[in-house]
Amino acid sequence: MASDKTIILITGGNTGIGLEAVKALCKTDTPYEIIIGCRTVSKGEAAIESLKKEIPQSPSTLSVVQVDLESDSSLEKAVETISSKYGRLDVLINNGGASFDADIRDGKMTLREGFNATWNTNVAGTQVLTTLAMPLLLKSADPRLMFVTSGTSTLTETERSDNPNLARINTSPPAGWPKPSGGMQLTAYRSSKTGLNMLMREWHRILVNDGVKIWCISPGFLATGLGGIGAEKLKQMGARDPSLGGIFIKDVVQGKRDQDVGKVIRVNMIQPW
């Protein structure tokens, strides 16, 4: 059935920054149809029950659809479900992603397995879903497409180590091989997010004459569960509360960064390439 509400699909919306974005949208006075896409439907349903208790007066409607970024059939079924129920999609937030660098480091995955899994989820799966959803987005009066990237993806800033966060990821190890295995291992993750930035640029090029507003969202160093480091450990390293990332995404949905389409955006600036 058609809906007068803005229809939003957010992948990975049951946890982390995705859940915080759903929460931020639900707290506004604007009514949304928010579709949480996640691998395990029961986890999405549990997130919805929690949100309804936390924000009982929200004007928004919540539902869940199974989205496995490693499965084309899952993505096809998700888009079919949205098409049959709503007939269009106003906002696609490609938030779902994964990091397997720690699994490579710990020997749980081979180097090839870890890289392939990272790119398959963060880039290839996102591209498949976006392509499948495009006919629905183009039926919107104000289509918006977002890719959640990372501050670690910028090529320009790989040359910087002038603050603790940049020093942590950019400082070179001592000479010799093998290199120390401790610390943050982000090579596969960073590479995939840099690739995601180019994917955004390609979609911007392809759709610039179709009126689709497109961004990469770089939410900053936030204390999420990504990478298996743990929220508390990340906070000790200077990570901020994930709710700030959710508010940022909500602001982009609501038009506060429309002047920066086609860019990788941070809360208060455009991220350098």
Name the phi and psi angles at 159, rounded to 5.
-90, 0
E strands present in the chain: 6-11, 32-38, 61-66, 91-94, 144-148, 213-217, 264-266, 269-270
DSSP character at residue 186? -
Sheet of 264-266: strand order equals 61-66, 32-38, 6-11, 91-94, 144-148, 213-217, 264-266, 269-270
Q: Quick: pLDDT tens for 24-42.
A: 999 999 999 999 999 999 9
CA–CA separation, 110 and 19 (whole Å) = 31
Q: What is the pLDDT of residues 54-88, one digit of tens each?
A: 999 999 999 999 999 999 999 999 999 999 999 99
For residue 211, is pLDDT > 80? yes
The arithmetic mean of pLDDT across residues 101-125, rounded, is 97
- Give CA–CA dist 265/174, Å, rounded: 34
C-alpha 123/C-alpha 190 separation (Å) is: 12
* Residue range 137-156: mean pLDDT, rounded: 97
The terminus-to-terminus CA distance of the chain in angstroms comes to 42
Q: Which residues pair with 122 in a beta bridge?
A: none
Give me the residue spans of the domains in the chain. 6-100+120-157+190-270
pLDDT value at position 220?
77
pLDDT at 233 over 80: no
Burial of 144 (0-12, 13-18, 19+ CB in 10 A): buried
Asked if residues 170 and 160 have their Cβ atoms less than 8 Å apart, the reply is yes
Residue with tokens 């291992």: 185
Radius of gyration of the chain (CA): 18
Quick check: helix, strand or coil at residue 272?
coil
CATH superfamily to which 6-100+120-157+190-270 belongs: NAD(P)-binding Rossmann-like Domain (3.40.50.720)
Convert the pLDDT of each residue in 161-199 to its tens digit. 998 888 888 999 999 999 887 666 899 999 999 999 999
Could you give the CA distance from residue 257 to residue 125 in angstroms, rounded to a whole number? 26
For residue 2, what pLDDT band results from cuts at 50, 70 and 90?
low
- Catalytic residue numbers? 150, 189, 193
Question: Cα torsion for 129, 218, 113, 68, to the nearest 10°?
Answer: -30
What pTM was computed for the model? 0.94
